[in-house]
Structure 1
């Protein structure tokens, strides 16, 4: 019962943060949305910041699950790396909570939101680093600094998916994979 109530509060908070943003969301709003007393929220969370961090932690788990589900048996590590990264970034950009966070960080520079976005990016880079390490172990890539390579790959993906679309037609998954294959992965291949 307590777990259900806690989950209900977290979902209400997620909706509130997604709609109003971090700064404008109050514990009172979350309590009304969750149909619980304000004290009930404090039974589970110290403050708004802790509640916000819980949502970010859940989002990180969801993103990893989406990335893992995007990978397919029988594909190369490079192909699966592409599928996982594309899914991570797509999920992040379609999720109402992260859209609002990006907007608030850009417009208001809210420190808690900027920290959360940094945490999401770092988790993405760490995840991609682990996939690059797997590719290296299986002889599909030659990389001296996997974390630096992951950083470059993530930033390039972000640029191709989001920045490119500001002035050009969006690229589909296959086009992005071809660009990566031509400009990045051929340089990382052992041949």
Structure 2
């Protein structure tokens, strides 16, 4: 079988699996269901993937990479650190809204996860944290931000985002989420104190 045909089968299996996982979840999706949806024999699936877990991991890795690329693209042309973080968060929320099963994985507690997922989730979180660090480092280097403990500040921003993204993703329309994101970033970047109170 040619490489092109092999790739077509593989992509069909992944597309069918992604749709089924998004609709029914990992545990309720059987390999038989994937084969039927992809219009391939069950044995064909095992020519490309060792297990349902490997299919799921492949999808998660791919979608995580796509999300990070979309976040990086969204922040690329922004002029300030605050706007870069804003657009990064909005890109993440939009992506999660379109791919709810990735979001559901990301918000589960570690003990609730299938063991093979935790590593992939941690890698996505690490890359997101690195994006925030890059933004802060650029702001400090350009003298737009005061000297700060970048790793600690990045962790605080990531924690604030992760703590609020459930509502932004699943409970709110995008416009409302963006308004809350703007309020949060105003506090994170400018503080709560009145200017004259600091003088």
- TM-score strictly above 0.5: yes
Q: Which of residues 42, 55, 59 in structure 2 aligns to 1:55?
A: 59
Give the TM-score of the pair, scaled to structure 1: 0.77
Q: Provide the C-alpha distance between the structure 1 equivalents of 2:161 and 2:126, rounded to a whole number of angstroms.
A: 15
Q: 1:155–1:90: structure 2 CA closer, same or farther, 3 Å change rule?
A: farther
Q: Which has the larger radius of gyration?
A: 2
Q: Provide the C-alpha distance between the structure 1 equivalents of 2:121 and 2:159, rounded to a whole number of angstroms.
A: 14
Q: Which of residues 83, 108, 112 in structure 2 aligns to 1:109?
A: 112
Cα deviation, residue 144, structure 1: 4.1
Unmatched tracts of structure 2, length 5 or more: 192-199
Map 1:61-72; keep pairs closer than 5 Å.
Answer: 61-71=65-75
Q: 1:98–1:134: structure 2 CA closer, same or farther, 3 Å change rule?
A: same
Query: Is 2:76 the partner of 1:88?
Result: no
Q: Provide the C-alpha distance between the structure 1 equivalents of 2:171 and 2:40, rounded to a whole number of angstroms.
A: 46
Contact 2:168 2:177 in 1 (8 A): no
Cα deviation, residue 9, structure 1: 0.9
Give the TM-score of the pair, scaled to structure 2: 0.74
Corresponding pairs, count: 184
> Which residue does the alignment assign to 1:179?
184
Contact 1:16 1:25 in 2 (8 A): yes
Query: Is 2:161 the partner of 1:157?
Result: yes
The DSSP-based 3-state class of the residue aligned with 1:22 is coil
Q: Provide the C-alpha distance between the structure 1 equivalents of 2:172 and 2:29, rounded to a whole number of angstroms.
A: 35
Q: Provide the C-alpha distance between the structure 2 equivalents of 1:162 and 1:72, rounded to a whole number of angstroms.
A: 25
Map 1:4-83; keep pairs closer than 5 Å.
Answer: 4-71=8-75, 73=77, 75-83=79-87
Q: 1:109–1:5: structure 2 CA closer, same or farther, 3 Å change rule?
A: same
Q: Provide the C-alpha distance between the structure 2 equivalents of 1:17 and 1:152, rounded to a whole number of angstroms.
A: 32
Map 1:122-133; keep pairs closer than 5 Å.
Answer: 122-133=126-137
> Which residue does the alignment assign to 2:142?
138
